[in-house]
A and B are shown apart, each in its own frame.
Chain A
Amino acid sequence: MTAAPLRAAAALTAAALALTACGGGGNAASDDGKSFTYWSMWKENEPQAQVLAQAVADFEKETGIDVTVQWQGRDVLKKVVPALRGGDVPDLVDQEEAGVRANLVASDQFRDLSAVYAAEVPGSGKKVSEVVADKYTGTLKKDGKLFLVPYEIIGNGLWFDGSKLPGAAPKTWDELAARFAKAKGEGRAPIALDADIPYYNAYWTVGVLQGALGAGKVDELAKDKTGKAWDTPEVRAALAKVKALVDNKYFIDGYDGSKWPAVQEKWAQRQADFLLMGSWAPSETGPKAAQGFQFTFAPLPGAKTTVPVSNLGFAIPKPAKKAAAAEKFIAYFLKDAHLSKISTTAKNLTPNPALPVPDDLKGLGAALETLPVSRPIDGIDEIPGYAEEAFYPVNDQLIKGKTDVDGFLSQLAEKQANYWKKNG
């Protein structure tokens, strides 16, 4: 009986070799400005991909430049890095700024996009730098060189169902704590959290710390080589607030024994009041939300309230051969006609404040007009490996109620010192 499958397999092998013989060729053509390659972080059927695909089609028609798009998905930059050593890199990529920073900026493999910022958005009479709000580009520089042009803004904060929890957003931590206490008293779970994701746990701790210390301070603490800089009265007070959330059992039952996305979907089903999350919360949980659920945003309040934001945008790898054409497309995509679809079709915030804001994100849009911005978990996840090896394990224990403020500080000091010893 082995003969038949073997023969079939042999035939398949031959077919494989024939098929792939034509797959190996690289595009060795030089920059004639007539074409470029774009690797996207989206998969073809996602709304953002549809918006981008439409823009690509229009761009090709108007300019005659040929765009080859690969819908790579979220791991797009992990594919770019090996190719940086002399391979065929794409001429244009997109990802969240933290990913671009880790994959391209850290190794100095990005193209300075200052020229794009100085270029005109076709037909608008405005420069790119005038379309993209200044407050978002503050973090997008390395040594004065801009590495990203954003087209979608992610903001972090508290989400709740506006139809069930009316009234003004809590302005201070005490107001928020009172809301939690009230919910608990009425038998509802105040907070939903998928605690199997260390990054989400860090939203709470770092968010409260940012509120107490201001933007960028946690990042400084994380960069202390001894790990002892954390032990200050301000930090202790902030950590005590987080610890109180755990001690008062404000997190929904089972938050620490579940698998994402179970808990955030319980929240969308109105089983908990608040969710601390990025502005993808409505699009991630929207289809699973209870009827009449009104996604409403409020910044996590503190003495120095900020809105942590992150940019999703375009970057160009340094070895890209057809960068000029790619730069042209970046400016082209920022035209209102295309960029506004990130808001209307993909239901996300754009970096152009003049464009409409999706209904679910109205609160976020308003907060961003008035409040200063910071980075999600203050950017400590962008110190390579620091969060995974030092901060997350300790913070998980705090959030899951397995350690207290003293334990947090002493363990973090130890792990952080270990981290900097090997990475210093």
Chain B
Amino acid sequence: MRKSSSRHGHGPLYRGGVGLVWLLAVFNVGVLAWMGVAALREHTAIFSQPWSLSTFGQFGNFAKAWSDSGFGAAALNTVVLVAGSAVVLVAISAPAAYALARSGTRISGAMALFFALGIGIPVQVIVIPLFVMLENIGLVNSLTGLFVLYVALSLPFTVFLLTAFFGSLPEEVEEAAAIDGAGPLRTFVQISLPLARGGLITALILNAIGLWNETFIALVFIQDTELQTLPLALLGFMQTQQYSGADYGALFAGVCILVLPMLALYVWLGRRIVEGMTLGAVK
């Protein structure tokens, strides 16, 4: 898209920069590849020759990781939970963010900041009051309870993100729709939401990634092993290293089971994240 003429006149500094950037990219890919390779190697070899391919082909690592820690049920729980909470989260946050971005009153500005402050609160601080609360309404040790928590605890970031996003959308189209007689609700659903698609998908994916990896809340609130999520399964598996011995091959296999779906999602929708971010920034 950019005219090729803008590429002229690059000094050695720039070319060096390009080299470094590629080096960094290669590093990132290399790290990922190394992990994938290690997941198929034998434990002692990973430690004694971390950078070789010896003992490659231990597919049993995946079987071991999968069966030893109940990854099967955990995978189903996690997919359902993460997809559900990310979607509901965006569905609840979008109208709120829209209202905060568009109403332009003093109270909406203060409230946007009020939501943003929630981003900075470490969950360890509020976990005990939360537990008491959920205990009282019978939602401890249930995926519904975890779902409610995931939605509630991700709200601040999502509202903050989407408020900025709606704020960056041009108002003219909405005004035109209003002049055509569309009500504000219809304007929101038919005009603003489709316009904000990039931002909504960005919010969806960033939250999905965050919740997919979430460990602490699940650890405290889920007791039944049949209800555990993938990070819990991986954590439990890592902990059996104490007393029963480490198997880094199987450990990395478990890590791959956790990482690969997100990687796939990212490869599939990653362009959208970047577009969402970009659209949001361009007024």
Contacts and interface: CB of A to CB of B under 8 A. Distances in A.
Interface string A274-299: 00000010011111100000000000
A16 B80 contact: yes
A73 B239 contact: yes
A248 interface: no
B246 interface: yes
A70 B240 contact: no
Interface in B19-57: 43-44, 47-48
Contacts of B67: 45
Nearest to B227: A23
B141 interface: yes
Contacts of A2: 197, 200-201
A20 interface: yes
Contact of A16 (B84, B135, B236): B84
Contacts of B223: 39, 70, 72, 79, 83, 88
Contacts of B131: 82, 85, 87
A17 B79 CA distance: 13
A286 B87 contact: no
A284 B143 contact: no
A47 interface: yes
B83 A9 contact: yes
Interface stretch (A118-126, A202-210, A261-269, A378-386): A261-269
Given A15-B80, A16-B80, A287-B245, A23 B135 contact: no
Contact of B87 (A6, A71, A72, A78): A6
B225 A71 contact: yes
B140 A87 contact: yes
Contact of B236 (A8, A19, A43, A78): A43
B70 interface: yes
B224 A20 contact: no
Interface string B203-218: 0000000000000000
A79 B223 CA distance: 7
Interface in B47-106: 47-48, 67-70, 79-81, 83-84, 86-88
Contacts of B219: 75, 78-79
Nearest to B69: A43
A283 B201 contact: no
A284 B243 contact: yes
A46 B240 contact: yes
Given A9-B86, A19-B80, A23-B227, A79 B242 contact: no
Contacts of A138: none
A13 B89 CA distance: 11
A280 B242 contact: yes
Contact of A286 (B135, B147, B245): B245
B87 A9 contact: yes
Nearest to B67: A45
A284 B241 contact: yes
B144 interface: yes
B142 interface: yes
Nearest to A284: B245
Nearest to B132: A85
Q: Point out which of B67, B132, B243 has the most chain A C-beta atoms below 10 A from its C-beta.
A: B243
Interface residues of B, number: 51
B223 to A, nearest CB: 5
Contacts of A9: 83-84, 86-87
A280 B244 CA distance: 7
Contacts of B152: none
Contacts of A233: none
Contacts of B144: 16-17, 20-21, 23-24
Contacts of B237: 43
Contacts of A82: 127-128, 131, 140, 220
B240 A43 contact: yes
Nearest to B44: A288
A23 B87 contact: no
A26 interface: yes
Contacts of A303: none
Contacts of B135: 83, 85-87
Interface in A121-172: none
B243 A16 contact: no
Given A83-B140, A288-B44, A16 B81 contact: yes
A24 B145 contact: yes
A86 B137 CA distance: 12
A196 interface: no
A296 B144 CA distance: 51
A104 B261 CA distance: 39
Interface string A293-312: 00000000000000000000
Given A13-B83, A21-B144, A39-B223, 15 more contacts: A2-B200, A2-B201, A6-B87, A12-B83, A13-B88, A15-B80, A24-B144, A42-B240, A43-B69, A72-B223, A74-B242, A78-B219, A280-B242, A284-B245, A287-B43
Interface of B: 43-44, 47-48, 67-70, 79-81, 83-84, 86-88, 127-128, 131-132, 135, 138-145, 147, 197, 200-201, 219-220, 223-225, 227, 235-237, 239-247
15 contacts: A16-B80, A16-B83, A17-B144, A21-B144, A24-B142, A43-B69, A45-B68, A46-B243, A73-B235, A85-B131, A86-B132, A265-B44, A269-B48, A283-B243, A285-B245
Interface of A: 2, 6, 8-10, 12-13, 15-17, 19-21, 23-26, 39, 42-48, 70-75, 78-79, 82-83, 85-88, 261-262, 265, 269, 280, 283-288
Top 3 nearest A-B pairs (CB, nearest first) are A13-B84, A73-B236, A20-B143
